[in-house]
Amino acid sequence: MALSPKLWFRLQRLKTSWLSALGSKEQSYDSAHRMCPNCRALIERGASKCPLCGAPTKPPRSRASSTPGRVLGGIIPVPSTATSALVAANLALYAISWYLTQNLASSELNAAPAMGGIDSRVLMRLGAKYGPLMVAGQWWRLVTAVFLHAGLLHIVLNLWCLFDLGPAVESLFSTAKFIFFYLVAGVAGFVVSFLWSPYGLSIGASGAILGLVGVLIGASMHHGGLGREMRSQLWRWVLYILIFGLFFAADNAAHIGGLGAGFLFGYLVPEGEPTTRASENLWNTLALLSVLTIAGSFALMALQLRQPAR
């Protein structure tokens, strides 16, 4: 029995995103076509009118490619636009925290932490999750903590995962949805971390990254046998991360919180670009609010840097 155009399109798009995330070079989705927002049939990507139902279609936004590329023989993926911005933000914050750590060690005539480690006092000043200060009004730490890392190995592992998962989620859902998912999953992770261990100092993008895993797991629930196959691979990945967290004292509460939030998004939010003007405006607004929330949180962090250290 032939698959309906809608089901065929969804399966091919999901398969392409999974192959991208897993590093495969196979190209199974024809980027010359897209789905009609009215009857869900496949039409030419540049068509202004569906030849099957006659409904007018909005011209698609230009995209660099339908799947992210890879360099160095497939080892390192080339991230999409929003993923690139997140990677740059994480690297910038790591560079600032490393510089401040070196200055602090120099002023105290002490050796800086090895392996690119960051002094915990620097992380505290730059916005790590810490319950007592959050209760005192510094709730912006739920956001800034997502972009801080404790050392070179910490940031390399997280950005490696972000390189792979970010383009897959962004391609499957859209850039606007991806930005919102990433921020909310990261914040949700630190909310759970705060509830579990309010006096613990915690930082890192891993809660947001587990949120991206959760998004893909949630989306896979709608795709039958193909979804089950992909889901089994992702659940193994989640298990490895949680075991790693137990041995290296990582914040598994943040991991679980981010994973849960991501799963809800992947299960409840429709895949693909918004199909109506109202939904497009909604997701663009949510993405803009997410960016403003990040910028505002770091602005508040910068203001408290001017105050004497406690």
Of 95, 80, 86, residue with least CA distance to 205: 86
Percent of the chain scoring above 90 in pLDDT: 52
* Alpha carbons within 13 A on the beta-carbon side of 164: 20
- Residue 250's CB is within 10 A of a number of other CB atoms, namely 18
Q: Would you give the DSSP letter of residue 65?
A: -
DSSP-assigned beta bridge partners for residue 76: 71
Domains and CATH numbers, the chain: 5-9+33-56 (no CATH), 80-305 (1.20.1540.10)
Cα distances from 123 to residues 33, 96, 118, in angstroms, run 47, 10, 7
User: In whole angstroms, what is the distance from residue 270 CA to residue 220 CA?
Assistant: 12
The amino acid occupying position 296 is G
Name the token pair of 305.
């840097």
* Alpha carbons within 13 A on the beta-carbon side of 96: 16
Name the token pair of 57.
């279609």
Phi, psi of 41 (to 5 degrees): -85, 160
Element (H, E) at 70: strand 70-71
User: In whole angstroms, what is the distance from residue 144 CA to residue 208 CA?
Assistant: 12
- Residue 185's CB is within 10 A of a number of other CB atoms, namely 29
Residue-wise pLDDT tens for the chain (310 aa)? 444 555 555 555 555 555 554 444 443 334 455 666 666 566 676 677 777 777 776 654 433 344 444 444 444 455 568 999 999 999 999 999 999 999 999 888 888 888 889 999 999 999 999 999 999 999 999 999 999 999 999 999 899 889 888 998 998 899 999 999 999 999 999 999 999 999 999 999 999 999 999 999 999 998 877 788 888 888 887 888 888 777 777 899 999 999 999 999 999 999 988 889 999 999 999 999 999 999 999 999 999 887 765 5
DSSP-assigned beta bridge partners for residue 70: 77
pLDDT tens by residue, 73-92 = 444 455 568 999 999 999 99
Query: E strands, the chain, where?
Result: 33-35, 42-44, 70-71, 76-77
Query: E strands, 151-265, where?
Result: none
Greatest CA separation for the chain: 75
User: In whole angstroms, what is the distance from residue 40 CA to residue 55 CA?
Assistant: 11
